[in-house]
Chains A and B, each alone.
Chain A
Amino acid sequence: MTMVLAICVAVTFAVSIYLMLGRELKGVAMGVFLLGHAANLSIIAMSGSPVQTDAQQQTAEHAGVHLTSVDSPEMKDPPILTNQYANEQPLAQMVDPLPQALILTAIVIGFGVMAFLLTLLVVTNRKARTIEVSDLAEEAREA
């Protein structure tokens, strides 16, 4: 699972950097957007495996916790507390919720940056009548 995520992160980074190196600012903006996604994916990849280790499974069996919401018994539960966990130790069977909170915040911030960047593109297009990097650079040289 972690491997799959790692490959996803790598591919997303590659695509976003390819886009950011392009000659058109629209592509660059899309690259910025993808870059944020790549970072978020990498946080998920780093936040621990969604699969229980043997020791965790044994603890779970020992505690007599029965998983309800997951298809296969070795996958961890989503981090939602239900009554069945009230008096038991759910941590081993739960996915760590904090990275998800981080990602949620990061997505919102990325959204704001994206909105700003797109607005900037519109304004630039209105002022310069182009959003090609080379054209903008040429104008800069003439000026």
Chain B
Amino acid sequence: MTDHRIILLCVIPLVASLVSIALINRRAWSRLVGVLSFTMMLGLAFSLVLKITDAPEEQSVLVSQMGGWTAPFGISIIFDSLSGLLICAAAAVGLGAYIHSFSILDPRTERRYYHPLMQMLMFGVNLSFMTGDLFNLFVAFEIMLMASYALLVIGTSLKQLRQAYKYILLNVLASTIFLMGAGMVYGMFGTLNIADLARIIAEIEADPTRQLPAGFNALAVMFLLVFGLKGAFFPLWFWLPDTYYTIPISIAGLFGGLLTKVGVYTVARLFPLIFSSNGDMMTNSAGQWVGGTSSVIMIILAVAAAFTMFLAVLGAVSQHNVRKILAVHVISQVGYMVFGIAVMSGHALAGCAFYMVQHMVVKCALFLCCGVMEKHAGTDDLDSLGGLLKRDWPLAVLFFIAAMSLVGLPPLSGFFGKMVIIREGFAEDLWILGVIGLVTGALTLLSMLKIWSYGYWNPDKAPTVSQPQAVKSSCRSAYAGIVMLVGFALFLGFGAEAVYKVANRAGEQLENPKTYITAVLGEGAYEQVDVLIAARTVEPEEQVAESIAAPQVSTEETGPEDEQAASELPQDLAKRLIVENPPYTVSIPLGKHGSIIAEQAVSTQGALWPMPWITQTDTGWEVIEE
């Protein structure tokens, strides 16, 4: 359904960014503009999500074609349940981190275009969540990355500069590969529109005479490399902990919450729709058609998920700085999301979407708590922290809620995400991943308790630089940011059902691309696929019909033995039991062997067939003859 309001989600941060460039020397004004922009994005995204959640299937994907050019040729902006959830979460996280930064950032740093850069980052993030075009995705990534490069070195301390090169070079490399991949996609399929690509792939899958182009798997792996690097999958995570260690903590919170999730989002969007295909047609347990999954991609995703979860959490347990523990945890949690994608069933993808949202919020809240802890103790080294529970119990409560949400203690939000993903893993024969997920959860608890006991429970051994009261009064907006995010996390936990309503729809749409394709390309775009599928499924359906109708032709179908038995029957005994149950009529010959044949008929049909003439006795089946 066309709804041009969605483009406002990109326009708002863009305009806010330009306005706050003009207001660069007026701190209060630029802050106001920033907060307004985040609030507007949050409100708009939330109202749109509410709107599409209750809408019928045809109206559940909002599309805006830029300049009125129709889909595969123009630029499509698409807002479906997955984008909606993530944009809501992104705006909430952005708002929390932004408010938090007011009391953390050095005023001089703030004047170095901090406000415009934040808005530009949000512009890039929102655009990558909403774009319906691979090349546009590349552009959105670049916008987001340029802003993140600049935020990474904001304040230009030497420590930041040193780490920045690693991040920038790796991302430039990834972008180059992405660009080449986009070029290859265009060379192979002649389109860059994601929905159009999904349509072409679906047609190839449904058509037995066509095959995917050579090198399609290689292309998929290229894309996995790119998004894996942005999303910090195993083994491409090494840039993350060092980078997040050096930047101002509010920005680290935003990056930890947002940036990796953009990489995960693109995998969740593109792989079930396009790149995990192996060119075969398959149906899911509900009988809906889904594309066949390439075993190569499946294995890569599953292995990446396992190692990302487990190795990263071991890394987190071994760290001794709050920031590093949290940063390495970002990676470990990404593993759960990749796990959800690797399972690739609708419910698992829904779990993945939910987990992404909750992780963004909770992880950012934890980073922001860490910022206040640093204010208290002047360091984030666990050895010199302590006594925070006594000094600042509200912070302790907030931290505890966020940490337990991350661990996944019911009824907090992490539980519902992990539960669904792990359950789906067990259901889909990926039990190794499920077990690893559970172990990782336990180790997550361990590392969170490490921060808790060293930082909050231990006797106060920090000869602090600042008085608790002074910190509390200087960090008011920091507390506001944390409270907001923790409140959001609590909502995700206690309102999980409502959120899952949206997430389930997102999962369905990812699993079965019909809604998405029809919404973007217009009515009838999917017809060709439907026709091809129908043509392919006619054959098996006939077979099924035959096997159901087997009793109709009675003994002839049930094997030579019975055939012989039936032919031996005297004519007068060969009455027929006629069972009418539309659309099938079954007639069963009765007589000497009648009971045996009736038994077969009953066991074939089971409870589907009410046959009052046949009753089960202790010795077997008895047919009541009229």
Which residues of A are interface residues toward B (Cβ below 8 A)?
20, 25, 28, 32, 35-36, 38-40, 42-43, 46-48, 98-99, 102, 105-106, 109, 112-113, 116-117, 120, 123-124, 127-128, 136-137, 139-140, 143
Contact = CB atoms under 8 A, between A and B. Distances in A.
Contacts of A47: 183, 186-187
B262 interface: no
Contacts of B183: 39, 42-43, 46-47, 99, 102
A111 to B, nearest CB: 11
B149 A39 contact: no
Contacts of A40: 179
Given A35-B176, A143-B159, 13 more contacts: A25-B165, A35-B173, A39-B176, A39-B180, A43-B183, A46-B183, A48-B187, A105-B139, A106-B179, A116-B149, A116-B150, A124-B158, A143-B158
B161 interface: yes
Given A20-B169, A25-B165, A139 B179 contact: no
A105 B165 CA distance: 24
Contacts of B162: 128, 136-137, 139-140
Contacts, number: 84
A23 to B, nearest CB: 13
Contacts of B177: 39
3 smallest beta-carbon distances between A and B, as pairs = A43-B183, A46-B187, A39-B176
Nearest to B163: A140
Contacts of A109: 139, 142
Given A120-B161, A120-B164, A36 B176 contact: yes
25 contacts: A20-B169, A28-B169, A35-B176, A36-B179, A43-B179, A47-B186, A47-B187, A98-B186, A102-B182, A105-B135, A106-B179, A113-B142, A113-B172, A113-B175, A116-B149, A116-B150, A116-B168, A117-B172, A120-B161, A123-B153, A123-B161, A128-B161, A136-B162, A139-B158, A140-B162
Contacts of B135: 102, 105
B443 interface: no
B146 interface: yes
A28 B184 CA distance: 26
Contacts of A20: 169
B295 interface: no
A113 to B, nearest CB: 6
A140 B162 CA distance: 8
Contact of B146 (A113, A123, A127, A143): A113
Contacts of B161: 120, 123-124, 127-128
Interface string B174-205: 01110110111011000000000000000000
Nearest to A25: B165
Contacts of A139: 158, 162
B156 interface: yes
Q: Helix, strand, loop or mixed for chain A's interface?
A: helix
A47 B180 CA distance: 11
Given A47-B186, A127-B158, A35 B168 contact: no
A53 to B, nearest CB: 16
Interface of B: 135, 138-139, 142, 146, 149-150, 153, 156, 158-159, 161-162, 164-165, 168-169, 172-173, 175-177, 179-180, 182-184, 186-187
Contacts of A123: 153, 156, 161
A36 B178 CA distance: 11
Nearest to B242: A140
A32 B169 contact: yes
A43 B134 CA distance: 14
Contacts of B173: 35
Among A20, A98, A109, A143, find the residue whose CB has the most chain B CB atoms closer than 10 A.
A109
B187 A128 contact: no
A100 B413 CA distance: 47
A99 B191 CA distance: 11
Contacts of B156: 123, 127
A112 B120 CA distance: 15
A40 B161 CA distance: 29
Contacts of B182: 43, 102
A28 B168 CA distance: 11
A127 to B, nearest CB: 5
A42 B184 CA distance: 9
A130 B161 CA distance: 12
B180 A43 contact: yes
Contacts of A99: 183, 186
B568 to A, nearest CB: 69
A36 B169 CA distance: 12
Given A46-B184, A46-B186, A124-B161, A39 B153 contact: no
Nearest to B177: A39
Contacts of B138: 106
